[in-house]
Structures are given as structure tokens and as C-alpha cells.
Amino acid sequence: MNAGAFRAAAGIWYLWRMHALIPALRRARIIPVIRCQRAEHAATACAWLREVGMTILEITLTTPEAVPLIAALAREPGLIIGAGTVPDAEAAAACLAAGAQFLVTPWLDPAVVGVARAAGACAMAGALTPTEIRACLCAGADAVKIFPASAVGGPAYVKAMRAVFPAAIFCPTGGIDVGHAPDYFAAGADWVGIGGRLVDEARIAAGDKPAIQAAARAALGLLEA
């Protein structure tokens, strides 16, 4: 079997149902992951990132008042809002009711995937090993969040997984910064999730808007690279 035939055979069982949101996520390349200890800092981060043109945001449920923030942002035209670190099906339903268009888990919870798919939302399930990645795909996940990517080899690890899953949709997350993002894309990432300097809570608390927006502009600059 040649490489093209193998790719088709390996991917046909999940590529046929690619979610409609995937092209927008691929175009964005970098998805800010909003994880703060204080609700007001999360809201400020979102506002500052939106001002420089970031229109896709992931609000993690470890952030206080995350669901109300998702609801407020989802009402804004032109934004695509997702929920991260979704712990269970009940939380998933609450996020979808608030307007989340994608749900992210750092592990595989088939119930969360099922809630997302039933609502027409994009399901991104977390995995690390080949066994876990295959389990995510078999459970119906639209994309696989490879987590924690930087702790297990970074781009080299993503490249190794891409060789095994040539048609899967990968979103590496965990310890990635803007400067390393091109290496992940070259290794086969479809997009990456980044917190770090994009959502540096100490800088947000200090009111350092220029620093946060400089990091965001650097991220947006990758779209033109």
C-alpha cells in the first residue's frame, strides 16, 4: 500500500464528518487559552485580545465565573467562543447553553463529546499516547488536544504522532509560546492553544495592556508568515 492509499484508509473513518468550525480554527492557528484566578482578569484579557483582532477564545472552567463570561462573549458578533477544561456532561451542557461553540477537555470524556456532538458543537478531547488519541477519535472527537505537549518532546512528539495519525486533527497545548508555534505547525499541528504571555495574569493585574497586546500581535503575525 502506498503512502496516499494508507492515508486514505487511516483517515476515512473520521475525516468524513469534519466539523464546520475546523477551517476557522486552522486559519486562526493560535487559540488563546484564558485561565485566570480572578474573573475580572479573565474578562480584561479577553477584551485586550479582542482589541488587536483575536476572535477565537477558549475560556477554561477553572476560571471563576467562566460560564457567565462565555455567555457575555458569545453575544458579541464576530467572536467564536469555546469552553476549556470541561469536567463533565452537565458542565458541557451549561457551556453550550451559554453559547460556547466548541468544548475542550484535557482528557477523554465520551459523555462530553456526546453532548457537544448532539448540539452541533465542536468537540476537542485531550490525549497523549497513541492509544488515547485513537480512543478520542473513536469516541467521535472532532479534534485531539495533545496535552501536555511541551512536557513530552514538543514538536518532535507531535511529528511522531502525526506519522501514526496522518489525517487526525491535532491541537497541541501546554507550555507552548508564540515563538515555538511555527515548529509545532511544521511538525503537523493544525493549530495550537496558548496561555502564557497571552494571558499572563500578573501583567493583567498590573494593567500592562501593552505587553499582553504585543504578545497577541506577535501571534497574529504568524498568520502572515
Let me know the angle formed at the C-alpha of 37 by 33 and 38, rounded to the nearest 5 degrees: 105
Cβ atoms 147, 171 nearer than 8 A: no
In degrees, rounded to 5, the angle at the alpha carbon of residue 179 between the alpha carbons of residues 176 and 183 is: 75
Instruction: Let me know: does 108 contact 115? Beta carbons within 8 Å.
Output: no
Cα separation, 195 vs 63, in Å, equals 13
Bridge-based pairing of strands 122-127 and 192-194 is unpaired
Instruction: Provide the annotated active-site residues.
Output: 58, 145
How many C-beta neighbours within 10 Å does residue 159 have? Answer: 16
**Cell (9 digits) for 8:** 486514505
Neighbours of 99 (CB within 10 A): 17
Q: Give the integer Cα–Cα distance in Å for 118 and 64.
A: 27
Any residues with CB less than 8 A from the CB of 59 and at least 6 apart, and which? 34, 42, 46, 66, 69, 70, 73, 81, 82, 83, 84, 100
